[in-house]
Chains A and B, each alone.
Chain A
Amino acid sequence: MKIFAFANQKGGVGKTTTAVTLADGLARMKVKTLLVDLDPQGHLALSFGLEKTPGLYRLICLDETLEKVVVNISSNLDLVTGDKQTEKVKRQITLSDFRESILTDILQDAPYDAVLLDMAPSLDVLHINGLIAADWVVIPTRPDALAVDGVKEILTTMAEINQSGHRYRGYSILPTFFDRTTRETFLQFQDLAKTFGEHLWPPIPQDTRVRETVAYGKTLWDYAPNSVSMNGYKDGKQRLGGYKQVLARMLEVIND
């Protein structure tokens, strides 16, 4: 089992959409996948057309089993929902012993091939729990200076966690809302490539279909499977970027 955390302390960079799209993609590739909402906004449930419910609260505060708490979305995809009660989870974790590894303990024997953690744009005890549970951290970022600063913040936190003995298998930077025609995007992308090299994954093109898909409570695989955000930019016969290419990178990590 591989645990992926989708993290960036900057909000609005596409963490939830990315986690939903990749989780649904993995499930369609017959990878048994669990998606966990660590954000009190509870947007993962809405993304699948469901009501927000306190799944994480029941799991951690009421000690219910993972099996009982998960909502089945499709044949290979389960979801642990979140809502405003997730705030209570943070308070409970703060008062617990071994508070930073509670999520690791819950997930360690979970019967899944991949677990995707959708993190809140914050740096609290739940966020640290997610980062400690993760084998691989995916950092979605808009190609702008503020979001890129969020990348550096996450990497600093990861370095601190590394010093306390946790070993990540790796991390990836995922540019989102990518508009290849603007000079600013080019400059930011160039900087990311120079700084992070092979850690930089192909970007997700800006696409209005992504915003529409949330309104319909569908994932991109159902609503716009051939959109530019899914297929990437056409370059001759090849495609560059897009969620399908990023999914292939994730499968490489899972099968490694």
Chain B
Amino acid sequence: MTEKKFERRTTLDPAVADLLSGMHQRQVESQLPRKERERLSRERAKIQSRRDQRATYDLPPTLREEIMALSEELRIPASQLVTLALARFLNDYHLEKIDLGKYKQPSRSPRYDWNLIFPDELIRIKKKKG
């Protein structure tokens, strides 16, 4: 079946366009066989349940690449490696094993008071030698 798409047009309020598009999708789904509707409903529930677990941060590219490489090497999801790293950081921070003071520089942003400036050797990950 050819799916009719509502594209966001300048002549429509963006919220109206988004709502129409979502309602159209639901109308199309309601015409599908029951099994297909159930499958789509399960997929939607799965996406929604994972929504609270999502986060977006700016990271140095070297860190991101290193995590991806480690994920491939160990066959472990990158999200779980990052979860472990963050959990360990928070534990160490609360045990006062980490001193942020040595990285702190005043920020000119109206939102933040400080920036953390990391030395190159901290960000440049040393790769394990084979």
Task: Identify which of A185, A200, A236, A238 contacts B16 (C-beta below 8 A).
Answer: A200
Q: B18 and A190: CB pair below 8 A?
A: no
B23 on the interface (CB 8 Å rule)? Answer: yes
| B: number of interface residues (CB 8 Å) | 17
Task: Identify which of B12, B19, B22, B27 contacts A197 (C-beta below 8 A).
Answer: B12
Q: A203 and B27: CB pair below 8 A?
A: no
Bound complex: CA A180 to CA B15 (Å): 13
Q: B12 and A193: CB pair below 8 A?
A: yes
Q: A198 and B18: CB pair below 8 A?
A: no
Given known contacts A189-B20, A235-B22, A236-B51, is B27 in contact with A241 (CB within 8 Å)?
A: no
Q: A240 and B23: CB pair below 8 A?
A: no
Shortest beta-carbon distance from A74 to chain B in Å: 28
A76 on the interface (CB 8 Å rule)? Answer: no
Q: Identify which of residues 2-31 in chain B touch chain A, using a CB-to-CB cut-off of 8 Å.
A: 10-13, 15-20, 22-24, 26-27, 30
Q: B12 and A180: CB pair below 8 A?
A: no
Task: Identify which of B20, B26, B27, B51 contacts A193 (C-beta below 8 A).
Answer: B20
Bound complex: CA A238 to CA B51 (Å): 12
Bound complex: CA A232 to CA B12 (Å): 18
Q: B51 and A241: CB pair below 8 A?
A: no
Main secondary structure of the interface of A (DSSP, over half): mixed
A217 on the interface (CB 8 Å rule)? Answer: no
Given known contacts A202-B16, A240-B18, is B23 in contact with A197 (CB within 8 Å)?
A: no
Q: B18 and A238: CB pair below 8 A?
A: yes
Task: Identify which of A181, A183, A198, A249 contacts B11 (C-beta below 8 A).
Answer: A198
Q: B15 and A241: CB pair below 8 A?
A: yes
Given known contacts A235-B18, A238-B18, A240-B18, is B12 in contact with A189 (CB within 8 Å)?
A: no
A245 on the interface (CB 8 Å rule)? Answer: yes
Q: A202 and B12: CB pair below 8 A?
A: no
A233 on the interface (CB 8 Å rule)? Answer: yes
Q: Which residues of B contact A (CB under 8 A)?
A: 10-13, 15-20, 22-24, 26-27, 30, 51
Please list 25 pairs of residues, one from A and one from B, whose beta carbons are closer than 8 Å in the complex, sorted by A's number: A180-B19, A180-B26, A181-B26, A185-B23, A186-B23, A189-B23, A190-B20, A193-B12, A193-B17, A193-B20, A197-B12, A198-B11, A198-B13, A200-B12, A200-B16, A201-B16, A202-B13, A202-B15, A202-B16, A236-B51, A240-B18, A240-B19, A241-B15, A241-B19, A249-B13
